[in-house]
């Protein structure tokens, strides 16, 4: 009888040890899984930040017929108003929606291609941003004639915003430091831009 009890006791001890080892194994597996997930997450974050930190405008030659964002219809191209006419209309109405404007591109954001400027008769800035940052343009767009569709308004641009755009345009520190006052200018939020000539 004593040997029987001793065997049962050993069997019980072995079961407890096996269960204990299974639990330890499960904990080790969980730690390995969590470590792998953590490693993959950190890698994804690092690569995502690298892509954000090194943006560039899209490649392209901006040839006639190329468009960015929504394509612009032929009737809109034919009825697009010149920048000078838009300037006159904005003196009467502070905001115009769903309009088409044509003009020559004088500047493109060299950092991402996220904004452009157009030539105006008066020499004032005509600043164009892409709606919802849904598209960007190549730097080759500079010097090309385009038609824009979207909304325009005359608005005051803060000193901080002007400095931000100057920094994006890779202006010198002295040029950036010289910006000390807000500026009233035309802002255009484009849903589409098309090269016309």
Predicted pLDDT at 8:
76
Q: Is the pLDDT of residue 50 over 50?
A: no
User: Do 69 and 193 touch, CB atoms closer than 8 A?
Assistant: yes
HSE-CB for 150 with a 13 A CA cutoff = 24
Integer CA distances (angstroms), 11 to 2, 4, 51, 192, in order: 14, 11, 60, 78
- Quick one: pLDDT band at residue 72, thresholds 50, 70, 90? very high
Computed over every residue of the chain, the mean pLDDT equals: 85
User: Do 126 and 117 touch, CB atoms closer than 8 A?
Assistant: yes
pLDDT tens-digit profile of 95-122? 999 999 999 999 998 888 999 999 877 7
User: Quick one: what percent of the chain has pLDDT higher than 70?
Assistant: 93
Q: Is the pLDDT of residue 51 over 60?
A: no
DSSP state of 137: -
């Amino acid at each position: 009888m004593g040997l029987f009890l001793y065997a049962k006791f050993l069997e019980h001890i072995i079961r407890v040890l096996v269960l204990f080892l299974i639990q330890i194994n499960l904990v080790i597996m969980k730690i390995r899984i969590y470590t792998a997930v953590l490693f993959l997450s950190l890698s994804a974050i690092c690569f995502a930040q690298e892509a954000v930190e090194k943006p560039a405008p899209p490649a392209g030659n901006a040839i006639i017929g190329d468009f960015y964002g929504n394509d612009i219809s032929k009737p809109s191209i034919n009825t697009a108003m010149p920048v000078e006419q838009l300037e006159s209309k904005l003196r009467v109405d502070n905001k115009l929606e769903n309009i088409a404007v044509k003009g020559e591109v004088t500047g493109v954001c060299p950092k991402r291609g996220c904004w452009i400027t157009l030539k105006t008769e008066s020499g004032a800035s005509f600043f164009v941003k892409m709606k919802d940052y849904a598209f960007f343009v190549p730097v080759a767009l500079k010097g090309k004639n385009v038609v824009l569709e979207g909304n325009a308004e005359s608005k005051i641009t803060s000193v901080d915003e002007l400095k931000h755009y100057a920094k994006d345009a890779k202006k010198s520190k002295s040029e950036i430091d010289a910006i000390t006052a807000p500026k009233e200018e035309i802002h255009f939020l484009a849903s589409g831009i098309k090269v016309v000539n």
